[in-house]
Amino acid sequence: MTPHNMVDEGPTDLEQQVDQSVVRPPPPPPMSAKPPRILVIGAGSRGRTYARASISSSNGLVVAVAEPDQYKREQFGRNFIHGPDAPPDGSLFADWRDFIAWETKRREKERAGETVSEGVDAVFVCVLDEMHHDVVVGLAPLGLHVMCEKPLATTLADCVSMYRALAPLQKNKVFSVGHVLRYSPHNMMLRKLLLEDRAIGDILSVAHTEPVGWWHFSHSYVRGNWRKESTTAPSLLTKSCHDIDIILWLLCSPAPSSDAPPHLPSTVSSSGSLQFFKRSRKPKSAGDATNCLTCPVEQDCMYSSKRIYVGPKHQGLETGNTHWPISIVMPDIESFDKGKRQDALLSALAEDYDASTPKSDVEKRNWFGRCVFESDNDVCDEQVVTMTWDEDPLASGAPSTDALGGRGAKQATFHMIAQTKKQCDRYTYIYGTEGEIYADSKTITVEDFRTGETKTYKPRLESLGHGGGDVGLTRQFILAVDLVKNHGWAAEKAQAEYIGCTLEEVIRSHAMVFAAEEARREKKVVDWKLWWEHEVAHS
């Protein structure tokens, strides 16, 4: 059973396709006399990723963790905080509220003149999506720098509430959200080519695809944590808010050297549904089996939990893998002797329920051995979002080469699809007035209509985590914290130059997801300006 705050993000963009030998991580920045001290809340996949990136590629120190699962908490402490030594006071917490209580008392003692241990400067919030709001709002009175894993929250109301709690702190503290795709060298180069170099003139159309991967989707969105809108959120938010953010980053936000206002969308529409992973698709020969290990056609089913989690493919245990996805099924798999791990994993996969099991008991946990056609999942396994922009020239100051200042009419479509061989290996076609671009996770190819030339760029791959985005976001966030803490920078300057994303931009990209979901459910086209005014600005 997955601990209630463990985050199951899965393998990132290139882990299936790229050999580690081609990765060229950047050197860590120089350490300051008093390096930023980091707390990680949630020792799951994302928490460990940011801790590892902090140690390898930043000038910060991971000094504390809050995690309810004892095995994960102690393992995290040994790996990232104290090594083989005993954990220092104030380093391991079973609950984030315990940290708040401890830190509050520490500050009281400090104000009273007592000698106390040093506190933390910043926090990475890496708990499950539905917990983000309570954690971030609960931490706000402490005035820490915050990096919150994506999505910011699972409801629009919670996003707005977090915005209001954080906005008063922005003059003194930096804030970031886990939109790591902004920080990969690949996407940074793509944005430069489009907005600064204007390699294809004005952007007219973007077609962006996220292929989730057939068995990855079944693990996370059918059997796993993100299977139900009622307990988490729509898959467009939990899986693809990255992608909506990237599209808005390319089409809304002005170039880095410009102080122009954002070019805001005009409309958003969407269509999609749960098409495949449902009972009507279940093979008749499977009968009434609810668990793979008791199913008469298990050996022939490509979604067999035994095949996916134990077998020699798909990162199963027989490949020697004990990390994702195995560690999500059994977080303590490495505590078993190697010869006993398979039996322990099969025992976990055999866990089942029947007609007498209360519905609440079925819904409150993950059943990784159950039939993908008998699950209680309801999130879309395919969805398309269309956004349009009206022509909106600047009143003055537009470049002489472009009468509209890059603010002509345009549109973007986003396609999320579960049934793919590619796994989170996104690709994008961008069409402009003077050329076109094809970009995937490895290359960017520019076709120049003016010269007839084709240029191919291969940006540096700094890590396998979102093409270097995990490392990039971690490094930029901690550098911003360091500049505020040790070098006299204003938080607003550090936010602009190192985070490169305002709190309002974070809210806008999340709001776009909720607007798209409203459009999908109600089968309508949403007027963005009116929707924003009603749902966000005046809510």
Q: What is the pLDDT of residues 163-173, one digit of tens each?
A: 999 999 889 99
Can you tell me the distance from the alpha carbon of 363 to that of 374, in angstroms, rounded to the nearest whole number? Answer: 12
Can you tell me the distance from the alpha carbon of 494 to that of 500, in angstroms, rounded to the nearest whole number? Answer: 9
CA dihedral 193, 194, 200, 206 (to 10 degrees): 130
E strand or H helix at 470, and its extent? helix 469-486
Ramachandran assignment for 87, one of left (phi > 0), alpha (psi -120 to 50 degrees), beta (any other): beta
- The number of CA neighbours under 13 Å toward the Cβ of 132 is 31
At 365-409, the pLDDT tens digits run: 999 999 999 999 999 999 999 999 999 988 765 554 566 777 999
Nearest of 18, 21, 15 to residue 49 by alpha carbon: 15
Residues in the chain, pLDDT under 50: 1-9, 11-21, 400
Can you tell me the distance from the alpha carbon of 38 to that of 121, in angstroms, rounded to the nearest whole number? Answer: 6
Contact 105, 77 (CB under 8 A): no
Residue 129, helix vs strand vs coil: helix
Per-residue burial over 356-385, b if 16 or more Cβ lie within 10 Å, else e, is eeeeeeeeeebbbbbbbbbbebbbbbbbbb
Q: What is the pLDDT of residue 394?
A: 81
Q: What is the pLDDT of residue 6?
A: 42
Can you tell me the distance from the alpha carbon of 310 to that of 293, in angstroms, rounded to the nearest whole number? Answer: 12
DSSP 370-381: B-TTSS---S-S
Per-residue burial over 124-137, b if 16 or more Cβ lie within 10 Å, else e, is bbbbbbbbbbebbb
Per-residue burial over 91-121, b if 16 or more Cβ lie within 10 Å, else e, is bbbeebeebbebbeebeeeeeeeeebeebbb
Q: Is the dihedral of CA 75, 125, 51, 465 positive or negative?
A: positive
Paired tokens of 214: 């057939």
> How far, CA to CA in Å, does 2 sit from each of 52, 299, 325, 367, 403?
22, 26, 11, 9, 55
CATH 3.40.50.720 residue spans of the chain: 20-149+467-500
Q: What is the CATH number of domain 20-149+467-500?
A: 3.40.50.720
Q: What is the pLDDT of residue 21?
A: 45
Question: For residue 503, which phi and psi values (nearest 5 degrees)?
Answer: -60, -35
Amino acid identity for residue 326 in this structure:
I
Give Cα 316 distance to the centre of its chain: 24
Place of tokens 């709002």: 137
Question: For residue 454, which phi and psi values (nearest 5 degrees)?
Answer: -120, 125
Place of tokens 């102690």: 74
Can you tell me the distance from the alpha carbon of 131 to that of 68, in angstroms, rounded to the nearest whole number? Answer: 13
In the chain, the largest separation of any two C-alpha atoms, in whole Å, equals 74
Question: For residue 132, which phi and psi values (nearest 5 degrees)?
Answer: -55, -45
Contact 193, 430 (CB under 8 A): no
Q: What is the pLDDT of residue 4?
A: 36
CATH 3.30.360.10 residue spans of the chain: 185-276+378-461+509-537
Can you tell me the distance from the alpha carbon of 366 to that of 14, in angstroms, rounded to the nearest whole number? Answer: 27
Can you tell me the distance from the alpha carbon of 420 to that of 423, in angstroms, rounded to the nearest whole number? Answer: 7
pTM over 0.85: yes
Contact 322, 333 (CB under 8 A): yes
Q: What is the CATH number of domain 185-276+378-461+509-537?
A: 3.30.360.10
Can you tell me the distance from the alpha carbon of 412 to that of 386, in angstroms, rounded to the nearest whole number? Answer: 6
Give Cα 160 distance to the centre of its chain: 19
